[in-house]
Structure 1
Amino acid sequence: MHTKQTVNEGLKRAYLITIPAADLTARIDAEIKKVAPQVRMPGFRPGKVPANLVKKMHGEALHGQVVNDTIRESVEKLLRDEGLRPAMQPEVGLNPDYAQGKDAEITVSLEVLPAIETPSIDGLKLEKLVVPVTEAQVDEALANIARQNKSYKDAPKTRKAAEGDQLIIDFVGKIDGVEFEGGKAEDAALVLGSGTFIPGFEDSLKGVKAGQEKTITVTFPENYQAKHLAGKQATFDVTVKAVKVETETTVDEEFAKSLGLDSLEKLREIMKAQLEQQTAGLTRTQMKRALLDQLAAGHSFEVPGTMVEAEFRQIWAQLQQEAAREDDPAAALKQIEDEKDEYRAIAERRVRLGLLLSEIGQANGVEVTQQEMTMLVQQAAMQYRAEDRERFVQYIQSDPMAAAQLRAPLYEDKVVDFLFEKAEVTEREVTMDELQAAIEADATVDAAAAKKAPAKKKAPAKKKAEAKAEVAPSAEAPAEDKPAAKKSPAKKASPKKVEASEEKPAAKKAPAKKATAKK
């Protein structure tokens, strides 16, 4: 094997590996000798088939296997001998005119991780903004729960249904006098004004009384999910079984028991713990931002473009999904297109910080245990259908880059926790508004810092893309290598309206649904 370096520019490296034809032939002959004893052929005793016949029968397959194994071993040897630390999976190619009996020329292109001086962790100072949870906040949270758990009681039989009333109805839907699938229900609960049914359905029931029967005519929206119903006019024969009015929900012992708890005191304890957990999460976000700012301020080095591109693709996919959910998707997409350079700068900052944290973690013995990794894989596998989970686990186990991508967020958090322990931390009590304002201010600083490059324009900071400030990306698996997304049970059509489905990333596709009128 002969190796020649063809590119050495910054972090980019490229090599040409030449495997002599004689070496490949020798390996193929060795493989033929290895499999010959297992070959069976009429007219020959077991294990006595001549090598030339074995080669004629299996030579092509063995040749392909030998070439693939040789390429893999040659690249591994190159990385080992040259002491290369790839930033992403190297690009490997075989000369297109290669044929059996010729030398094999293998091209290897990659970016290497930069050499980073281990950052000093001495003198780190952080301010921890603490929001104490008050009894008034607990009261407000419980009141919100009570509002979400509305209860209704029967209204007087003479009451005409109004906005906010709940109706218990049976209905049968027809198109051209013929019932259609999914257009029938019994004892359906409908709150007038909730907007859960298609336009015109709820308005037509205002003013009805318990026991009344009514036929209403509505038109399914043009963009209705069930295509065979879209734009069609339908009639619904409705029987109003009951009209109910909302009752005031009191947060008391009975309310707590209705939620499955022993007492109101227990409910308050749980709610206070949840609020404390929420504020602790925001406090950690603010501290992490401050920590990352201190690290970023003292380090500037070239980062691999392939890693930046991978991180940028993740940011961009998220932004496009968010834009698609806006009232004016076209305008939202145009806005993020105008700010594309800023998001790319944020991706570069994330990668740089990820490399810094990785260096700190390795220098200080921070690691993700095998038990933690096993739990991560199991949790990730639950995203997929049961029949695909084992395939996903095997994929993670066989692809080091995919495993690194899965491990990265947990590893980063463990390094951050390590730095929190080493830092000098002072606490200050603040209000929730002050804490949120501090987080938003830090996001502005982060984005502004990321944009400090002569070739990039100045513009307002973007909070969404920098919200996590989590880095250490790695190569994603090809979409065709990932298990298919799990599907949800099909739902029938009913007069409830639908909205356009949201596009999900390829690795986590939205559950597939059949025609339904529900939101």
Structure 2
Amino acid sequence: MQVTETLNEGLKRAYSITVTAAELDEKVNEKLAEAQPEVEMKGFRKGKVPLALLKKQFGQRLLGEAMQETVDSAMNKHFEDSGDRPAMQPKVEMKDGEDWKEGQDVNIEMSYEALPEIPEVDLKSLKVERLVAKADDAEVEDALKNLAENAQDFKSREAGAKAADGDQVVMDFVGKVDGEPFEGGAAEDFPLVLGSNQFIPGFEEQLVGVTAGEEKSVTVNFPDEYQAEHLAGKEAVFDCTIKDVKEPVAAQIDDELAKKFGAEDLDALEGQIRERLEAEYVQAARAVMKRNLLDELDKMVSFDLPPSLVESEAQQIAHQLWHEENPDVEGHDHPEIEPTEEHIELAERRVRLGLLLAELGQKAEVEVTDAEMTQAIMNQARQYPGQERQFFEFVQQNQQMQQQLRAPLFEDKVIDYIVELAEVTDKEISKDDLQKAVEALDEE
């Protein structure tokens, strides 16, 4: 086998690989010899079929396998000897193509872009500012008020008061179709919040203005697609007896409210709220610190970038931004999107930092554990209620999806590793200033 370099320009590489007919024939004979002990053929005992007969019968089929294995072996040896790491899957073409005939040498052309040498970075020289925001009493109090509103109770209105949207109407009702009650169409002391859309369309609106003690007939049409087929599309009359009209009132901020949300008492609930708020602030502060850290790293390194990676990233950025600007277009049946200079510049930054973080993570032996991957998949699966198991199985069978979930986990772990070595200074700020810093990230 002969390997000849035909291009070495920047990160671009090209090689001509020649596999002789004799090498191919030898490879085929090796594969036949491996299979011979297990072959059975009429007229011969198992394992005693002559190689010449096997070659006549199976040689043509094995030739393609032998050719592929030989080329793969040549490529692997080349990368091992040269130390090159291809940025993307190498392009491999057979020069003779359809004109090649058995017994001839095989001429292969291989081309790729090599990953660049990543320069060393003195991580201990990095200086990073970490923002720290604490939850003050006013924020905790606002959160408690929101919880109280969400845990609202209802109290009876004054006698004769008319029900308004948002009120709770307590009633008995009997539903009839064609004058006959139907199964599931009756209830006693049923509490219905007007405007909650708990009942079929048109029902709750007709109860606005009723008073306690009033009897009211409500006429509605079941939707055509109603789940009970015998009711779908039919008109129904509900005879309602209004027993009470209640207005919403916020729950009292006390130990009872705390217990509704699983806390032992009000002090414990306040502590949980404070922890939750500050956990959110920590995540926000981390996002700001990560951006600043990446900015500093980007200033510290400079190296050639594989054009194919930059082009692919720029196309992806342009495509994503186009869909964000055109949300009505769900598919990809749209004109070709050409990346702008701004897209290319952003792509270069992403590729440069991506290669740098990958190199730093590899040298530091950073790994994403199976437990971390499982947790990430479970978090993603929660976005598909009722289909969590199907999503989990889909990810397990899809390498590309696994990589999409693994990549941000790996990046965050590398960032953690860098922060451990860098000189980090904490700076206390208010929640409002932290929010401004986060908003500034989106403006850049």
Q: TM-score, normalised to structure 2's length? A: 0.76
For the structure 1 residues 74 and 172, does the alpha-carbon distance in structure 2 shift closer, same or farther, using more than 3 Å as the test?
A: farther
Find out whether 1:214 has 2:213 as its counterpart: no
1:34 aligned partner: 34
Partners of 2:366 and 2:414 within 8 A in 1: no
Q: Which residue of 2 aligns with 1:69?
A: 69
Where 1:41 maps in the other structure, the secondary structure is coil
Aligned to 1:181: none
Q: CA deviation at 1:238?
A: 4.8
Checking the alignment, whether the CA contact within 8 Å between 2:395 and 2:401 is kept in structure 1 is no
CA distance in 2: counterparts of 1:368 and 1:340, whole angstroms: 35
User: Deviation string for 1:269-303 (max 9, x for gaps)?
Assistant: 21111111111111112222222222222333332
* C-alpha contact (below 8 Å) 1:376/1:406 kept by paired residues: no
How far the C-alpha of 1:200 sits from its partner, in A, is 5.7
- Between the aligned partners of 1:410 and 1:126, the Cα distance in structure 2 is 21
- Preserved CA contact (<8 Å) 2:131 2:434: yes
Distance in 1, matches of 2:13 and 2:401, equals 22
Structure-to-structure mapping, 1:280-359, within 5 angstroms: 280-312=282-314, 315=317, 318-319=320-321, 322-323=324-325, 341-359=341-359
Deviation at residue 424 of structure 1 after TM alignment: 3.0
Describe the SS at the equivalent of 2:251.
Answer: coil
Question: Which residue in the other structure is 1:23 paired with?
Answer: 23
For residue 373 of structure 1, the aligned residue among 357, 369, 383 is 369
Equivalent-residue separation in structure 2 for 1:173 and 1:201 (angstroms): 14
CA shift in 2, pair 1:159/1:288, >3 Å: same
2:410 counterpart of 1:411: yes
Q: Give, in whole Å, the separation in 2 of the partners of 1:200 and 1:312.
A: 51
Deviations 1:177-204 (CA, angstroms, capped at 9, x unpaired): 9xxxxxx888798654457888766545
Give CA deviations for 1:439-458 in whole Å, capped at 9, x if unaligned.
Answer: 343554xx4xxxxxxxxxxx
- Structure 1 equivalent of residue 181 of structure 2: none
- Per the alignment, residue 130 of structure 2 pairs with 128
Equivalent position SS for 1:367: coil
Q: Which residue of 2 aligns with 1:87?
A: 87
**Distance of 1:160 and 1:251 partners within structure 2:** 28
Tell me, in whole angstroms, the C-alpha distance in 1 between the residues paired with 2:47 and 2:391. Answer: 41
Aligned counterpart, 2:271: 269
Paired with 2:342 and 2:175, the residues of 1 have a C-alpha distance of 54
Q: CA separation in 1, counterparts of 2:226 and 2:71?
A: 50
| Partner Cα separation in structure 2 for residue 376 and residue 108 of structure 1 | 38
Aligned to 1:138: 140
Counterpart code for 2:216: Q
Provide the aligned C-alpha RMSD in A.
4.1
- Name the SS of the counterpart of 1:302 in structure 2: coil
Q: How far apart are the structure 2 equivalents of 1:145 and 1:78?
A: 65
AA at the equivalent of 2:22: A
Quickly say closer, same or farther: Cα 1:194–1:387, change in 2 above 3 A. closer
Determine whether 1:439 maps to 2:438. Answer: yes
- Cα distance change, pair 338–402 in 1 and its aligned pair in 2 (3 A): closer
Cα pair distance change 1:345/1:203, threshold 3 Å: farther
8 A contact 2:119–2:301 mirrored in 1: no
Alignment partners' CA distance in 1, 2:251 and 2:353: 50
Aligned equivalents of 1:421, 1:204: Cα separation in 2: 64
Cα distance in 1, alignment partners of residues 203 and 79 from structure 2: 68
Q: Identity over the aligned pairs, expressed in percent?
A: 38
Larger of the two Rg values belongs to structure:
2
Residues 203/91 of structure 1: CA separation in 2 closer, same or farther (3 Å cut) = farther
Structure 1 unaligned runs (5+)? 178-183, 448-519
Alignment of 1:99-248 (within 5 A): 99-152=101-154, 160-166=162-168, 191-193=193-195, 203-207=205-209, 212-217=216-221, 235=235, 237-238=237-238, 245-248=247-250
Deviation at 1:32, TM superposition (A): 1.1
Q: Secondary structure at the match of 1:66?
A: helix
Q: How many positions carry a matched residue from both structures?
A: 415
Aligned residues of 1:160 and 1:208 also touching (Cα < 8 A): yes
Shift of 1:134: 1.0
- Partner of 2:17, secondary structure, is strand
Q: Paired residue for 2:384?
A: none
Q: Distance in 2 between matches of 1:61 and 1:120?
A: 55
Do the aligned partners of residues 165 and 432 (structure 1) sit closer, same or farther apart at CA in structure 2, a change above 3 Å counting? same
Q: CA deviation at 1:110?
A: 2.1
- How far the C-alpha of 1:24 sits from its partner, in A, is 1.6
Any conservation in 1 of the 2:314–2:339 contact (CA below 8 Å)?
Answer: no
Kindly provide the CA deviation profile for residues 35-56 of structure 1, in whole angstroms up to 9, marking residues without a partner as x.
1221122332121223344334
> What does the per-residue CA deviation read over 1:342-377, in whole Å, with 9 as the maximum and x for residues that have no partner?
344323212212223334445xx42224xx432244
Is residue 219–residue 237 contact of structure 2 (8 Å, CA) maintained in 1?
A: yes
What's the offset of the Cα at 1:435?
Answer: 1.6
Query: Which residue pairs with 2:51 in the alignment?
Result: 51
Task: Indicate the SS of the match to 2:3.
Answer: strand
**261-270 or 199-208, larger mean C-alpha shift:** 199-208
- Going from structure 1 to structure 2, the CA distance change for 1:26 and 1:80 (only over 3 Å counts) comes to same
The secondary structure found in structure 2 opposite 1:280 is: helix
Once the two structures are TM-superposed, the CA of residue 77 in structure 1 deviates from its matched residue by: 1.7
Does structure 1 conserve the Cα–Cα contact (< 8 Å) formed by 2:314 and 2:343?
yes
SS of residue matched to 2:369: helix
Answer with 265-274 or 159-168: which moved more. Answer: 159-168
* Residues 8-36 of structure 1 deviation map (CA, whole Å, 9 limit, x = unaligned): 33322232322222212211111111112
Q: What is the distance in 1 between the residues matched to 2:197 and 2:307? A: 48
